[in-house]
Structure 1
């Protein structure tokens, strides 16, 4: 999935909103306080429920330009990327990409079927999240 959206916020503001959320998630999941400059190549385990957890690996955190991470579970690997391009002092373009690799034939078939039905909802939810970040400015 790929979404490109122009937001009426500075690139710095958008990037910082993403990073603040990441730092909060790390603190909540691990109890560790990590600094922004330590994020690239940082990994941690996040527990979603008693039987569900994932390893999250931050691949890139380039200030005001890019944030990319990988979420790895026993069933799938997800790679999510926010590429940020400053258009002016008050506007930026955000390119959100999400890729999923499923493990096993049955899981691939299952994910493909559910993906067709869930993709529009995920897209709508992401656009709503971007709009709320814009409104927070």
Structure 2
């Protein structure tokens, strides 16, 4: 999946909103709050619902341009990367890429079927997050 969208907000503002959410999630799951400069390579375990957990590892966090992480569960591994490209002082191109690798043939087949039906909703949810960030900036 790839999303490319231009946001009417500076990349520093967008990056700050992404990192705030990230740090909140880390603190909620670990009771720790690492410094942004220490996020690359940082790992923690997150609970998704009742019976699913995953390991989150930050692959690259470079303020204010890149936020990349890997989520590994017992079924899949997801690689997510946000790139923020400055257009001017008020506009930013945001590129979000996500890839998924299934663990096992049947999981891969199941993921293909599910993505046909629900892939559009995930993309829509990500665009909604970007729209909310833009609204937060414009509302300032």
- TM-score, reference length from structure 1: 0.98
The aligned residue for residue 4 of structure 2 is 4
The aligned residue for residue 30 of structure 1 is 30
RMSD between aligned alpha carbons?
Answer: 0.7
- TM-score, reference length from structure 2: 0.96
User: Is residue 94 of structure 2 the alignment partner of residue 85 of structure 1?
Assistant: no
May I ask how many residue pairs the two structures share in their alignment? 137
Distance 1:54 1:24 in 2: 17
Deviations 1:78-110 (A, max 9, x none): 001101100001010000001000000100000
Structure 2: any 5+ residue segments left out of the alignment?
none
The aligned residue for residue 53 of structure 2 is 53
Task: Choose 14-23 or 44-53, whichever is displaced more.
Answer: 44-53
Write out aligned runs for 1:85-104 (5 A). 85-104=85-104
Greater than 4 Å deviation, 4+ residue runs: none
Distance 1:60 1:127 in 2: 22
The aligned residue for residue 123 of structure 2 is 123
SS of the aligned residue for 2:87 comes to strand
Deviations 1:26-60 (A, max 9, x none): 00000012111110000000112342100000000
- Give the C-alpha shift of residue 75 in structure 1: 0.3
